[in-house]
Amino acid sequence: MTGADRDDRRYVELTTRSARLINAMAMVINLMIIASTWGDWQVFAIAAIGHTVVVFVNWYVSVALVPRYGARVDVARAVFNTCVCSALYQLIGWPLPVWFWLPFTALTFQEFGGRSSLVVLAIMCVVQGGAGLACGVAPLVPLAFVGLTVVCHVVARQRTAIIRQMLATSDRQRAELARAELELRQAQKLEAIGRLAAGVAHEINTPMQFIGDSLSFVRDGVGDLLGGPCDPTEVAYLRAQLPAAIARASDGVARVAATVRSLGRFANPGGVAAEVDVNAAIHDALVLATRDYELVADVALDLGTLPLVTCDGAAIRQVLHGLVTNAAQAIADTDARRGTIAVTSRRRRDGVSIAVADTGTGIAEAARAHIFDPFFTTKPVGRGSGQSLAAARAIVERHGGRITFVTEVGKGTTFEVFLPVGAVRAAA
C-alpha cells in the first residue's frame, strides 16, 4: 500500500468517525442561516428549500461517495457547496451566519487529502468573498472571516502534521517490533531444536548403554565357552544368562529404533495433509517427551478406537508433545513426589478428541486468559518460552478443530483437543 493510499484510508476513517459531529455542526449553521431570514417569508422559503437540497446532496456524498473515493470527493463537494450556496445567498441577502462556512470548512478538512485542501479553501474564500462583495456586503465581514479561516487552517494543519508524525513513528516502531519478534522466533526455534536434540540423545543413550553392557557380557561368555573346558556351574550360569542378555540387547535396539522412527515422523515436512492414526501420534509424542516426564510422572493411557484423521501429522504430534511437556512441568512444580499424566483419546460424532490431564499445579486465575498468547510464560528463561500453546491453538484451528482446558489450582489441568475427521486445510 502506498503512503497516499494509507493517508486516504485514514482520511476516510477519521471523517467517518467524526461525521456525526461535523454533520450536526453543519446543520446548526444551516438553521442559523434559515432562521436569520425569519419574517421575510419569501426569502425564508427560498433559504429553506435551497438548504434542504444542499443538505441532501451533502448527505448522499458523505454516505455513498466519500467512503468509496476518499478525500478527492470532499474537495469536489466543498467547491460545489461554495458555488451553489453563493448563488443562493444572492437570493437571500447574505445573512451573517453564511460566513461561518469558511472557518468551519478549514476546521473540518483533514490534511490527509494533501495540498488540495489548501487550494479548495482558497477557492472558497475567493468565490464566497467575491460574491459577497459583489452583492454589497461590507468588506470587513469577508475579510474578518477569511482571516479567521486562515488561523483555523494553520492550527488544523499543524495538529494534523503532529498526528501524521506520530503515526509514522508508530508505523516504524511496529516494523521494528515485528523484526525483533522474527529474530526472537528464530532464536527460539534454534533453542527448541537444541532441546529436542538433547532429548533424543538422552533417549538413545540409555538403551545404547545396556546394549553395550549386554553385548560385552555375551562376548565374554561366548569367549569363555569357546575358549576351552569350563566348569559346569559356569556353563549353567552362562546358559541361563546369555539369552537374557541377548533379549536385553535386542530390546534396546527396538527402543532406539522406536525413537528414531518417532523423530523421523516429527521431522516430516509440515503442512502436508495425510491420513493420520492419532493414537500412533500420541505414542510418538510420548516417546519423544519421555525425558520430560519420566522422573516426575506416570503415564496412564486410555486410547479409544479412532478413525484415521486427515491432518498434518507432524503438526499434531507437535501439539501433543507440547501438552505432555507442559503437564510434566506442572507436576514437577508440585510438592508431590510423582504425579500422573492421563492421555485419553475418544471418537466423537464428527471427529476425535484427545485429552491430556495432569495432577500438576493447575493454572492460576490471572494466567488463564493469557496462556494461548504468543510468548506468555510463567516459567523461567530456559525452561519455557511461551510458544507451545500459541502454536498448538494455531495448528488446531487451522484444522478446523478447537483446544480447550479446565483447571483447578492445586488439583491439575486437562487440555482437550478436538479434531474433525476430515480436518484439513493443512498447509498454512
Ligand X SMILES: Nc1ncnc2c1ncn2[C@@H]1O[C@H](COP(=O)(O)OP(=O)(O)OP(=O)(O)O)[C@@H](O)[C@H]1O
Binding residues (CB under 5 A) for Mg ion: these are 326, 388
Cβ atoms of residues 320 and 266 within 8 Å: no
Is residue 105 part of the contact set for ligand X (CB under 6 A)? no
Strand extents, DSSP E, 188-271: none
Query: Considering CB distances under 5 to 8 angstroms, the limit depending on partner class, which of ligand X, Mg ion, none binds residue 86?
Result: none
Strand extents, DSSP E, 334-387: 339-348, 351-358
Query: Considering CB distances under 5 to 8 angstroms, the limit depending on partner class, which of Mg ion, ligand X, none binds residue 270?
Result: none
Is residue 249 part of the contact set for ligand X (CB under 6 A)? no
Q: Given the rule CB under 6 A, which of 20-28, 43-51, 101-109, 355-363 is the region that contacts ligand X?
A: 355-363
CB of 388 to ligand X, least distance (A): 3
Q: Residue 297 forms beta bridges with which residues?
A: 339
CB of 377 to Mg ion, least distance (A): 8
Q: Taking Cα atoms as reference points, which of 86, 184, 161, 95 lies closest to residue 127? A: 86
Q: Taking Cα atoms as reference points, which of 325, 327, 323, 321 lies closest to residue 339? A: 327
Task: Decide whether 214 or 361 has the Cβ nearer to Mg ion.
Answer: 361
Is residue 367 part of the contact set for ligand X (CB under 6 A)? yes
Task: Decide whether 255 or 398 has the Cβ nearer to ligand X.
Answer: 398
Q: Is 375 left (phi over 0), alpha (psi -120 to 50) or beta?
A: left
> In which element (H, E) is residue 416 found?
strand 412-420
The DSSP result for 68-124, as a single string, is: HHTHHHHHHHHHHHHHHHHHHHHHHT--GGGGGHHHHHHHH--GGGTTHHHHHHHHH
Q: Given the rule CB under 6 A, which of 95-103, 119-127, 339-347, 372-380 is the region that contacts ligand X?
A: 372-380
Separation in Å, CA 167 to CA 3, 10, 97, 99, 171: 12, 10, 36, 34, 6
Is residue 326 part of the contact set for ligand X (CB under 6 A)? yes
Q: Are strands 273-276 and 309-312 parallel, antiparallel or unpaired?
A: antiparallel
Q: Is 119 left (phi over 0), alpha (psi -120 to 50) or beta?
A: alpha
Which residue's Cβ lies closest to Mg ion? 388
CB of 296 to ligand X, least distance (A): 12
CB of 270 to ligand X, least distance (A): 17
Task: Write down the H helix ranges in 360-416.
Answer: 365-368, 388-398
Is residue 117 part of the contact set for ligand X (CB under 6 A)? no
CB of 298 to Mg ion, least distance (A): 20
Write the binding mask 378 to 417 for ligand X: x where contact by CB under 6 A, - elsewhere. xx----xxxxxxx----------------------x----
CB of 377 to ligand X, least distance (A): 3
- Cα separation, 374 vs 371, in Å, equals 8
Q: State the amino acid at position 53 in one-letter form.
A: V
Query: Considering CB distances under 5 to 8 angstroms, the limit depending on partner class, which of ligand X, Mg ion, none binds residue 334?
Result: none
Count of residues near ligand X by CB under 6 A: 22
Q: Taking Cα atoms as reference points, which of 63, 35, 62 lies closest to residue 48? A: 35
CB of 195 to ligand X, least distance (A): 8
Q: State the amino acid at position 390 in one-letter form.
A: A
Task: Decide whether 108 or 413 has the Cβ nearer to ligand X.
Answer: 413
Query: Of the candidates 113, 132, 252, 360, which one interacts with ligand X according to CB under 6 A?
Result: 360
> How many residues appear in the chain?
428
Enumerate residues 6+ apart whose C-beta is below 8 A from 62: 15, 19, 23, 77
CB of 277 to Mg ion, least distance (A): 25
Query: Considering CB distances under 5 to 8 angstroms, the limit depending on partner class, which of ligand X, Mg ion, none binds residue 360?
Result: ligand X
Q: Given the rule CB under 6 A, which of 270-278, 302-310, 344-352, 353-361 is the region that contacts ligand X?
A: 353-361
Query: Of the candidates 92, 319, 320, 330, which one interacts with ligand X according to CB under 6 A?
Result: 330
Query: Considering CB distances under 5 to 8 angstroms, the limit depending on partner class, which of ligand X, Mg ion, none binds residue 149?
Result: none
Query: Of the candidates 339, 353, 358, 398, which one interacts with ligand X according to CB under 6 A?
Result: 358
Q: Taking Cα atoms as reference points, which of 350, 324, 197 lies closest to residue 263? A: 197
CA 23 to chain centre: 36
Task: Decide whether 388 or 407 has the Cβ nearer to Mg ion.
Answer: 388
Is residue 36 part of the contact set for ligand X (CB under 6 A)? no
Q: Which of residues 152-211 bind ligand X (CB under 6 A)?
A: none
- Using CB under 6 A, list all residues that contact ligand X: 322, 326-327, 330, 358, 360-361, 363, 367, 371, 376-379, 384-390, 413
